[in-house]
Amino acid sequence: MQVYLDNNATTMCDPQVVEVMQPFFTELYGNPSSLHKFGTATHPYLRKAIDQMYIALNASDDDDIIFTSCATESNNWVLKSVFNDLIVGGDKDHIITTEVEHPSVLSTCRWLEEQGVKVTYLPVNEEGIVEPHVVKSFITNKTALVSVMWASNETGMIFPIKEIGEICKSNGVLFHSDGVQAVGKIPVDLQDVHVDFVSMSAHKFHGPKGIGALYIKNSQALSPLLHGGEQMGHRRSGTLNVPYIVGMGKAIELATTNIEEKMASIRAKRDRLEDALLEMIPDTFVVGNRDNRTPNTILISIRGVEGEGMLWDLNNAQIGASTGSACASEDLEANTVMLAIGADNELAHTGIRLSLSRFTTDEEIDYTIEHFKKAVERLRAISSSFAKVQPTPGGEAGECHIPHHMAH
Amino acid sequence: MAKDDLLGASLWDAYSNKVTTLMNNPRYQGEITPEEAEAHGNKLIVADFGAESCGDAVRLYWEIDPKTDKIVNARFKSFGCGTAIASSDVMTELCIGKTVQEAVKITNIDVEKALRDDPDTPAVPPQKMHCSVMAYDVIKKAASLYLGVDEESFEDEIIVCECARVSLNTIKEVIKLNDLKTVEEITDYTKAGGFCKSCIKPGGHEDREWYLVDILEQTRKEMDEEKMKKAADAQATGDVPFEEMTLVQQIKAVDAIIDENVRQFLIMDGGDMEIIDIKKSDDYIDIYIRYLGACNGCASSATGTLYAIESTLKEKLSKKIRVLPI
C-alpha cells in the first residue's frame, strides 16, 4: 500500500476534473479571443467555469475573479500592484503581513523592502495564528495593505479573517488573504467576510497545477502585473488557459458542494489518526486546537525523532509526508513557521506534517498508524534522547549554541 | 544556474548506497553499560555532542583497555537525520581497534570517504557534509575525557571550514598565492564554504569564529601592505626602475649619479650644474638642468659636456632620459 499524506503540498487531480478538461486539448482548442467559431465555441464552458468559481466562493457579481497561473502569481500581483498604485503612486509606505506566510508573500515583501517599503511581519501566538488586536495595533495612516493567510499550510490553523477584515475595513486599509489552504478545504464566503483580495490555487483542491485565481472585491482598481493582450477584462493578459480554467471550475465545484459533509468525513479520519498517534506514542504533541484547523491537517512533534529521519522511514513504508526540519531543507534552515510557533526549537526539528484529502481511506489511516508507530520505535531506539547510559562526568553536551534561525 | 539546476537536486538521490544502507540498518547503534566494561576490566567513556534543540545530537560509547589505550568496543546513539546516523555508524566503526590517540586523528573527511560507494563520488550532497562534522567532534570530546586534556589541544591549527577541514593558514596562503579576490574563488580553490556555508559569513547555519569574508578582507589588506612595504624596501636598495620612481626619488638618483660621475670634472673647470625639473612623457624622461659658474656660456656645455652627462645618466638610470639645459 502507498499512502499520500502531503495534500497541503499538492493533491491528486480528481479524475472527473481530468475528464472535463480533455476536449479542450484536441477538439475545442480555439483561442477564446478569436472571432471565429473555433474560439467562441469555448465561451459557454469558460462561462460555466466562472460561474462555478463565483458560486463556490459566494462572490458577488460586482466582484472579479481573475484566473492566473498560480497563487504565487496572484500574491505577487496584489503586493506589487498595491506597491505601484498606493506607495509609488500614492502617499502610503507601509505593508503588514505575518512571519508565517508562504514564500510567495514573504519573498515579495522582502523585495518590496529593498524598494523602500516598510514591512511589518506580525508574530503568531502559540497556536500559530495572528490575533486581530495585533493587526490593529500596527495599522497606521501610512499602511497600504494588510496581507494575512486564511489558513496555514504547516499547521492547518485557520486565521481570524473575518475579524481582521472588519478591522481593515474600518481603518480604510486594503486587505489581502492568501487563501490557498482554505479554498476548497473550508467554507469561504466572500460576501460574509470582508476581504479585498483572495489568492487561490487549483492544485490544492484536486484541480490541475498551473492555474490559480485572484478574487478582487467590487472590481476595484489594481494595476495589472502582466501586460499584453488584455484578456480577462483587461486585468490579466495571456491567452486564456481554457482546459485548466474549465478544470479549476470543476475542481472547486467538486470540493465545495456539500463541503460540510466532506469536511466531516475528512475530519473523522484525521481525528482518528491524530488520536491514535497521540495515544500510542508517548512524548508527542500536536500543534493547534483541532476545532480551529483545516480538517485535513496534523502537525505532530515526536520527541527524540528528527524530522528528516522520520520522513525517510515513512518513505520506506511508502508513506508520503512532510517536515519543516532543517535537515530536510536545501539551506539547512529550519522551517520559519515552526520556529515562529516556538516550542523550544524542538518542533522545528521533530515536526511531521500529515495532510489528508477526501480520497484518503480508512485503510490508509490504519496502515499509517501502524507504520508511523514502527518508524518512531526504530528511530527512538537509535536516538540519543532515549539512551539509558548517561555521559561520563564532563562528557555532557553544552547548551545549544547554534542559533539555527536567528538570522531570520 | 543552467539546465541541470532547473529542477533542483533531489536530496535523497544524492546519498550513496552505503549511506542509505546504514541509515536503514546502523550496525553500531546501541549502548555499553558500565557493568559490561567493568566485567572486561575496561574503562567506559561516554561523550555527548550537540543537542536535540540544535537539530542533531550524538552520544558515543568507548570501552577502552586501560593498559593499551585501545578502544576495544564502541557504540553510538544519535538524534539526527539519516546522514547523521550513517556518519555516526561509520565513525564508531573506525574507532574500534584504534588507540585513543589514533582515534583522535579520524576526521569528518575520513568518515565521509568511508561512506562513499566509489572513491570519486561524494557520499552525500554538499549541504549534508556538515552532518559528518559532529561525528568528528564527539571523538575529540571522548578522547579529552579519557586523556584528561582539553578538546582544543587536539587541534593544532585553526579550522575555518569544518565540513572540508580547511585551516586559516591554508586559506590565507591560497588567497595570497593565487591573488584571489572573491569568496567564490576561495571555495573553488579550497572547497571551504562549499558545504553548509556557515563559514562564509555571519548569519548562516551556525556561528563561527572565523568567516571567509573577513579572512578575505584581512588578507587582501595584508597583501596591499606587503606590496607597499616591498616597494619601499626595493627603492631603498635601488632595485626600482628609474621610470617607476617618484619624482623625489628620481631627483635624488640623478643627483647621486651627477655627484659620482660628473660634478667633480665641472668643478675642476670652475663650474657646476643643478637640476631644475624632471618631466615624464610616454617616450622620454626630460631632465632640465642649469649650468652654474664657468660652465655657463662654455661652448662645450651645449655639446661635449652635455653629451657626457646625458650618456652617463642613460647608462646608469634609463634609456629614456634626455638632458635639456636651460
Chain A residue with Cα closest to B24: A313
Q: Report the share of chain B in percent with pLDDT over 70.
A: 98
Single-letter amino acid code for the residue at A124: V
Domain final position from B186, B218, B238? B238
- Interchain proximity B54–A384, CB inside 8 Å: no
The structure's pTM equals 0.81
- Interchain proximity B81–A389, CB inside 8 Å: no
Chain A window 374-403: which residues touch B at a Cβ cutoff of 8 Å? 381-392, 394-397, 399-403
The predicted complex's ipTM stands at: 0.85
* Cα A135 to Cα A138: distance, rounded to the nearest angstrom: 6
B195 and B294 assigned to the same domain: no
Buried b (16+ CB within 10 A) or exposed e, B283-297: eebebebebeeebee
Helix (H) or strand (E) holding B58: strand B56-65
Domain at B318, CATH number: 3.30.300.130
According to the model, what pLDDT value does residue A343 have?
55
According to the model, what pLDDT value does residue A333 have?
61
Nearest-by-Cβ selection for B53 from A331, A345, A394: A345
Could you report the per-residue pLDDT of B75-86, keeping only the tens digit for each?
A: 999 998 888 999
Beta-carbon contacts below 8 Å between A and B? 139
How many CB atoms neighbour CB A236 within 10 A? 23
According to the model, what pLDDT value does residue A345 have?
65
- Residues in B closer than 8 angstroms to A315, CB to CB, are 12
According to the model, what pLDDT value does residue A407 have?
30
Closest among B199, B201, B212, B211 to B129, alpha carbons compared: B199
Residue B1 domain flag? no
Domain count, chain B: 3
- The DSSP secondary structure of A192-226, one letter per residue, reads TS--SEEEEEGGGGTS-SS-EEEEEGGG-----SS
B207 and B117 assigned to the same domain: no
According to the model, what pLDDT value does residue A400 have?
57
- Interchain proximity A392–B53, CB inside 8 Å: no
How many CB atoms neighbour CB A254 within 10 A? 20
According to the model, what pLDDT value does residue A406 have?
34
Bigger pLDDT: B316 or A341?
Answer: B316
Domain final position from B133, B155, B177? B155
Bigger pLDDT: B56 or B147?
Answer: B147
Residue B102 domain flag? yes
According to the model, what pLDDT value does residue A76 have?
98
Paired sense of beta strands A143-147 and A174-178, if any: parallel
**8 Å CB contact between B107 and B136:** yes
Could you report the per-residue pLDDT of A270-312, keeping only the tens digit for each?
A: 999 999 999 999 999 998 899 999 999 999 999 999 998 999 9
- The DSSP secondary structure of B229-256, one letter per residue, reads HHHHHHHHTT-S-GGGS-HHHHHHHHHH
Domain hosting B275: range is 242-325
B225 and B293 assigned to the same domain: no
Distances from the Cα of B145 to the Cα of A88, B149, B214, angstroms? 63, 7, 34
Residue to mutate among A382, A396, A405, with most B CBs inside 10 A, is A382
Mean pLDDT for all residues in chain A: 93
Q: Report the share of chain A in percent with pLDDT over 70.
A: 92
* Most confident listed range (A334-343, A354-363, B204-213): A354-363
With a cut of 90, say whether residue A36 has pLDDT above it. Answer: yes
How many CB atoms neighbour CB B99 within 10 A? 14
Stretch B120-125: mean pLDDT: 89
B151 and B25 assigned to the same domain: yes
Give residue A405's pLDDT band: very low, low, confident or very high (50, 70, 90). very low
Q: Any alpha helices (H) in B150-191, and if so which ranges?
A: 168-178, 183-190
Chain B window 24-53: which residues touch A at a Cβ cutoff of 8 Å? 24, 26, 29, 31-34, 44-53
Chain A window 340-369: which residues touch B at a Cβ cutoff of 8 Å? 344-346, 348-350
* Helices (runs of H) and strands (runs of E) counted in chain B: 12, 8
Give residue A165's pLDDT band: very low, low, confident or very high (50, 70, 90). very high
According to the model, what pLDDT value does residue A403 have?
42
Domain at B95, CATH number: 3.90.1010.10
* Cα A377 to Cα A383: distance, rounded to the nearest angstrom: 10
How many CB atoms neighbour CB B281 within 10 A? 9
Does the CB of B55 have a partner CB in chain A at under 8 Å?
yes
Buried b (16+ CB within 10 A) or exposed e, A35-62: eeeebeebeebbebbbebbbebbebeee
Domain final position from B205, B223, B238? B238
B141 and B274 assigned to the same domain: no
Is residue B95 among the annotated active site residues? no
With a cut of 60, say whether residue B60 has pLDDT above it. Answer: yes
B109 and B207 assigned to the same domain: no
B151 and B15 assigned to the same domain: yes
Stretch A145-172: mean pLDDT: 97
Bigger pLDDT: B35 or B238?
Answer: B35
Nearest-by-Cβ selection for B78 from A316, A382, A401: A382
- Residues in A closer than 8 angstroms to B205, CB to CB, are 326, 331-333, 402, 404
B46 and B170 assigned to the same domain: no
Contacts of B27 (CB under 8 A, 6+ apart): B89, B93
Scan for cell 473523522, then name that residue.
A268
Could you report the per-residue pLDDT of B124-166, keeping only the tens digit for each?
A: 887 788 777 888 889 989 999 999 888 878 877 888 888 888 8
Residue B6 domain flag? no
Chain B window 210-249: which residues touch A at a Cβ cutoff of 8 Å? none
Beta partners for residue A284, in sequence order: A302
Does the CB of B196 have a partner CB in chain A at under 8 Å?
yes
Stretch A344-350: mean pLDDT: 72
**8 Å CB contact between B57 and B48:** yes
B251 and B196 assigned to the same domain: no
Say which CATH class A15-256 falls into: alpha beta
**Angle B82-95/B17-24 helices, nearest 10 degrees?**
90
B151 and B161 assigned to the same domain: no
Residue B276 domain flag? yes
B162 and B255 assigned to the same domain: no
Q: Where are the domains of chain A?
A: 15-256, 259-386
The cell numbers describing B251, all together, are 631627483
- Interchain proximity B142–A391, CB inside 8 Å: no
Does the CB of B57 have a partner CB in chain A at under 8 Å?
yes
Chain B residue with Cα closest to A308: B81
B131, B161, B199, B295: the active-site residue: B131
Say how many residues make up chain A. 408
Stretch A132-160: mean pLDDT: 96
Domain A259-386 sits in which CATH superfamily? Aspartate Aminotransferase, domain 1 (3.90.1150.10)
Chain A window 274-333: which residues touch B at a Cβ cutoff of 8 Å? 303-309, 312, 315-316, 325-328, 330-333
- HSE-CB at A296 with a 13 A cutoff on CA atoms is 32
B262 and B193 assigned to the same domain: no
Nearest-by-Cβ selection for B79 from A326, A385, A396: A385
- Residues in A closer than 8 angstroms to B78, CB to CB, are 382-384
Could you report the per-residue pLDDT of B230-284, keeping only the tens digit for each?
A: 777 776 666 778 888 878 888 888 988 888 888 888 888 888 888 999 998 888 9
Backbone conformation region of residue A63, classed left if phi is above 0, alpha if psi is from -120 to 50, else beta = beta
Closest among A130, A107, A113 to A340, alpha carbons compared: A130
Does the CB of A103 have a partner CB in chain B at under 8 Å?
no
* Cα B187 to Cα B197: distance, rounded to the nearest angstrom: 10
Bigger pLDDT: A335 or B122?
Answer: B122
Beta partners for residue B45, in sequence order: B62
* Cα A407 to Cα A119: distance, rounded to the nearest angstrom: 17
Residue B5 domain flag? no
